[in-house]
Amino acid sequence: MRLIESLATTEPLAELFSDESILRAMLTFETALARAEARVGVIPHAAAEAIESSAAAADFNMPELARDTFRAGTPGIPLVKALTERVRSMNEEAARFVHWGATSQDVADTALILLLRQAQHVLELDHTRLGNALAKMSREHRGTVMLGRTLLQAAPPITLGLKAAGWLAAVRRCWTRLSRAFSETLILQFGGASGTLAALGNKGTEISRALAEELGLAYPDAPWHTHRDRLANFVAACGVLTGSLAKMARDIALLMQSEVGEAAEAGGDGRGSSSTMPHKQNPIACSLTLAAAHQMPGLVASFLSAMIQEHERGVGGWQSEWPTVVAVVQGSGLALSSMAEAAEGLTIDESRMRANIASTRGNIFAERVMMLLGLTLGRDVAYGILEQASQKSMAEKRGLFEILAEMPEITAILSPETLREMDRPEDYLGSANEFRKRLTSPEED
193-238 confidence digits (pLDDT tens): 999 999 999 999 999 999 999 999 999 999 999 999 999 999 999 9
Phi, psi of 240 (to 5 degrees): -65, -40
Which whole number is the average pLDDT over 150-173? 98
Q: Would you please indicate which residues are annotated as catalytic (active-site) residues? A: 274, 313
What CATH code would you report for 9-102+193-219? 1.10.275.10
**Cα separation, 19 vs 354, whole angstroms:** 53
| Per-residue model confidence as pLDDT tens digits over 5-51 | 888 999 999 999 999 999 999 999 999 999 999 999 999 999 999 99
Burial class (CB in 10 A: 0-12, 13-18, 19+), 153: exposed
Burial class (CB in 10 A: 0-12, 13-18, 19+), 174: buried
Contacts of residues 317-325 at CB distance under 8 Å and 24 or more positions apart, as own/partner, are: 317/228, 318/105, 318/225, 318/226, 318/228, 319/73, 319/74, 321/112, 321/228, 321/231, 322/108, 322/112, 324/235, 324/299, 325/112, 325/116, 325/231, 325/235
Residue 445: pLDDT over 60 = no
Q: How far is CA 142 from the centre of its chain?
A: 26
| Per-residue model confidence as pLDDT tens digits over 390-444 | 999 999 999 999 999 999 999 999 998 899 889 999 999 999 999 999 999 855 5
**Cα separation, 234 vs 402, whole angstroms:** 57
Q: Output the pLDDT for position 281.
A: 76
| Per-residue model confidence as pLDDT tens digits over 55-73 | 988 889 999 999 999 999 9
| Per-residue model confidence as pLDDT tens digits over 278-297 | 555 789 999 999 999 999 99
Q: Output the pLDDT for position 282.
A: 87
- What is the homologous superfamily of the domain 104-187+224-359 according to CATH? Fumarase/aspartase (Central domain) (1.20.200.10)
Residue 429 backbone class (left: φ over 0; alpha: ψ -120 to 50; beta: rest): alpha
**Cα separation, 104 vs 109, whole angstroms:** 9
Which whole number is the average pLDDT over 229-249? 98
Q: Strand 263-264 to strand 153-159: parallel, antiparallel, or no bridges (unpaired)?
A: unpaired
Q: Which residues contact 343 (CB under 8 A, 6 or more apart)?
A: 129, 130, 133, 134, 137
Q: Output the pLDDT for position 58.
A: 82
What CATH topology corresponds to 360-444?
Ribonucleotide Reductase Protein R1; domain 1 (1.10.40)
Residue 276: pLDDT over 80 = no
Q: Output the pLDDT for position 271.
A: 62
Q: How far is CA 201 from the centre of its chain?
A: 43
Closest C-alpha among 147, 445, 178 to residue 336: 178
| Per-residue model confidence as pLDDT tens digits over 328-370 | 999 999 999 999 999 999 999 999 999 999 999 999 999 999 9
Please, which pLDDT band fits residue 274 given cuts at 50, 70 and 90?
very low
Which residue type does 397 have? K
Which whole number is the average pLDDT over 302-329? 96
Domain boundaries, the chain: 9-102+193-219, 104-187+224-359, 360-444
Phi, psi of 57 (to 5 degrees): -60, -35
Q: Which residues contact 107 (CB under 8 A, 6 or more apart)?
A: 26, 29, 30, 75, 76, 79, 80, 99
